[in-house]
Structure 1
């Protein structure tokens, strides 16, 4: 079935539409908020950002997720997930309004603290959205739901970023413009909270009264809960291999993101508005790749299988970096961004489905919290590795060549896995 056919299919369910609406409004507002952050953090016209500074900014903005995520997982496994969505959205709205006031008054350090809190609280909301999805769609439609919901969320976020940039242009002077962007984002988060109220109180689970006593006991301690989540997913080979692949891919994606920021800030342009404009083009093609990757994934996995699809995507990423990345050309580099976006979303949609299919609901919140830690920490690890190896210009042939080899190696490993699974299928046929 096509992407839009899948979307029509899952939208038939009223419960799915309510959760889907919450995601769209929330991620649209996230895009507006991120436009304000990007202009302030990465494209300050008063300085050319170096590799170490960019990596540090990523660490500051993403690593708190690794601290918050374990608590998010335990909370959404013991608290009605509808309430998690509602309260998280309201808290984000209040904090976004605070960041708007701080940046408008030139309070840089306090702005970063408030921004960290907004991004950290967002972990609760995103984990709740993922953990609640199996409650609103049948099990056999999880693949298509995983294809359309994050992808539409990414498109909504990209549209929000464009709206945020337009608001900043209207605001003119940087501090005032950024403050306006963040205040509009706060209003959007209030809207997301209101949409979440269309869901019933316990509609997204969890149903702890249906779980064994040892599951309820595990929820009493964050560390024990996270450990049990890791153990649970490790015992399920498809989910385990998928998460390991996501980790490796995110390291490489972190490296490529840092390279792209440096190239547009220090090499392709002189930074500032020109740098942000050039980076926005690459980011737009990246978002288009996200969308098309999700469009292609359900039909591709139904034809060739999940393992072969992931292998094909990883091979495509390595080839794109070799052909379009290594020349370090402002004309070719956005093409590499498009392919990497396609690969990233295709791999993530497939792995999301593997995880949701192969873990029990009682552990799903903690497993997705582990997923979030892995997703963000490995991205920061990639940025840190790049900062140690890449010059301020962003051009490094050895680093990109090593990324090509890594992608091709992972693709080869998934090819072996796909062939092994095909052999097993053949032996099971009577």
Structure 2
């Protein structure tokens, strides 16, 4: 079914979509707040020192847990009332954030800090997957590209706003353990508001409409990963989108680790361009601006060129950006790359979202989105860990950035190979 344009004004008049947007925005604001607060406590806290491996460990804590439990949690999203999932998970996350904040204030490190933070991140990913699989229940499928583009892009921008809020609040409260703990605690506001908004949906409104037919939830959970993988492989256009997204996340993970180190140790302030936590805030704002432009460009590009060509263009632009950054390796170049990679990466993600939501059956949608999160997060964490092992302490590693460009090229080739599998399976092509 070809995507159709409804217009933002009409979309937000749709009551279910409007409420789901509100749940997403408050959820992702809380996510951005928590991640920036925890990142500041680990990386930019004057009471602590961080080397590349410590930075990689912190990012893994924020992103890896749902990728481990995702295939199993996805099966639950295909069996449980998703309204109850959004409500309960947000309440659980609020309680866990209180625990993390207490540990930060007490100066805790290692497992005492990372284990509850892992739990927060795991619940957060569960909530985001629930929001994605609920979207087709509040918007007609022919409008999914447009509705998802706005929801995901504005949600990511809201997460960036949450991160910027944490950075600003740290400047007011303080950058030590006590200040970091207080900023972390503030993230519970978004979780509590999201839970209240989710409670406003009628029971069963967000699906699932039907289940996979297995007699027990346990059986469905145990088969979750395999079911999601089979459904993805069976649809070449979805598999192609997954491949493109995976290579972007690998390349972006390398860029993220190096950028954090460069802002922390290598760059010096250059006029209005700042370093340290404030400079990182500027990069976040520029990346958010790229997300906003992607929201405007992606629907137009998909309608004009189709998803495959849109993904190709995004990967080519990202390749050129990584190569330019590797050559220049300066503060302005890294900030410009934050904008362009935010733009191109979001285009690839939006195309992948549309492929999954529009071409995968509802009875397996949660498990495919769980696999999606694995692709999105595990690839990123693996790249961050590899970059941490290979990078110098100050992050000056142009060869690693050139390697990130090569990953985009490999992604482009693999994407087209998957699409060729689709063409070969279609009679008369």
Further displaced range: 336-345 or 64-73? 64-73
* Residue in structure 2 matched with residue 227 of structure 1 by the alignment: 226
Query: Hey, what's the Cα distance between the residues in 1 that align with 2:119 and 2:422?
Result: 44
Cα RMSD of the aligned pairs, angstroms, is: 2.6
* Residue in structure 1 matched with residue 130 of structure 2 by the alignment: 128
Does residue 65 of structure 1 match 2:75? no
1:38-97 alpha-carbon deviations (Å, 9 max, x no partner): 111222335553222222222233222222212321211111000000001101111112
* Residue in structure 2 matched with residue 176 of structure 1 by the alignment: 178
Deviation at residue 207 of structure 1 after TM alignment: 2.3
Deviation at residue 124 of structure 1 after TM alignment: 1.6
1:271-307 alpha-carbon deviations (Å, 9 max, x no partner): xx95111122112211111221122100111001111
* Residue in structure 1 matched with residue 253 of structure 2 by the alignment: 254
- Going from structure 1 to structure 2, the CA distance change for 1:67 and 1:74 (only over 3 Å counts) comes to same
* Residue in structure 2 matched with residue 43 of structure 1 by the alignment: 44
Deviation at residue 228 of structure 1 after TM alignment: 1.5
Further displaced range: 261-270 or 236-245? 261-270
Q: Check whether the contact 2:91–2:191 (CA below 8 A) recurs between aligned residues.
A: yes
- Going from structure 1 to structure 2, the CA distance change for 1:46 and 1:217 (only over 3 Å counts) comes to closer
Does residue 410 of structure 1 match 2:411? yes
Query: Hey, what's the Cα distance between the residues in 2 that align with 1:112 and 1:424?
Result: 47
* Residue in structure 2 matched with residue 206 of structure 1 by the alignment: 208
1:193-234 alpha-carbon deviations (Å, 9 max, x no partner): 0011111111001123xx563x55686242312211211111
Deviation at residue 413 of structure 1 after TM alignment: 5.5
Q: Check whether the contact 2:77–2:130 (CA below 8 A) recurs between aligned residues.
A: yes
* Residue in structure 2 matched with residue 329 of structure 1 by the alignment: 330
- Going from structure 1 to structure 2, the CA distance change for 1:53 and 1:102 (only over 3 Å counts) comes to closer
Query: Hey, what's the Cα distance between the residues in 2 that align with 1:196 and 1:129?
Result: 10
Deviation at residue 6 of structure 1 after TM alignment: 3.5
Q: Check whether the contact 1:82–1:203 (CA below 8 A) recurs between aligned residues.
A: yes
Q: Check whether the contact 1:132–1:205 (CA below 8 A) recurs between aligned residues.
A: yes
Query: Hey, what's the Cα distance between the residues in 2 that align with 1:226 and 1:34?
Result: 27
Deviation at residue 35 of structure 1 after TM alignment: 2.2
Does residue 245 of structure 1 match 2:247? no
- Going from structure 1 to structure 2, the CA distance change for 1:185 and 1:231 (only over 3 Å counts) comes to same
- Going from structure 1 to structure 2, the CA distance change for 1:60 and 1:25 (only over 3 Å counts) comes to closer
Q: Check whether the contact 2:267–2:275 (CA below 8 A) recurs between aligned residues.
A: no
1:158-179 alpha-carbon deviations (Å, 9 max, x no partner): 1122222222222125222222
- Going from structure 1 to structure 2, the CA distance change for 1:401 and 1:107 (only over 3 Å counts) comes to closer
* Residue in structure 1 matched with residue 311 of structure 2 by the alignment: 310
Q: Check whether the contact 1:229–1:366 (CA below 8 A) recurs between aligned residues.
A: yes
Further displaced range: 54-63 or 336-345? 54-63
- Going from structure 1 to structure 2, the CA distance change for 1:5 and 1:333 (only over 3 Å counts) comes to farther
* Residue in structure 1 matched with residue 18 of structure 2 by the alignment: 17
Q: Which runs of 4+ in 1 moved over 4 A?
A: 215-219, 412-425
Does residue 155 of structure 1 match 2:137? no
Deviation at residue 5 of structure 1 after TM alignment: 7.1
* Residue in structure 2 matched with residue 301 of structure 1 by the alignment: 302
Q: Check whether the contact 1:311–1:412 (CA below 8 A) recurs between aligned residues.
A: no
Q: TM-score, normalised by structure 2?
A: 0.91
Query: Hey, what's the Cα distance between the residues in 1 that align with 2:421 and 2:376?
Result: 27
Further displaced range: 236-245 or 82-91? 236-245
Further displaced range: 242-251 or 399-408? 399-408
Deviation at residue 421 of structure 1 after TM alignment: 8.7
* Residue in structure 1 matched with residue 102 of structure 2 by the alignment: 101
* Residue in structure 1 matched with residue 35 of structure 2 by the alignment: 34
- Going from structure 1 to structure 2, the CA distance change for 1:57 and 1:179 (only over 3 Å counts) comes to closer
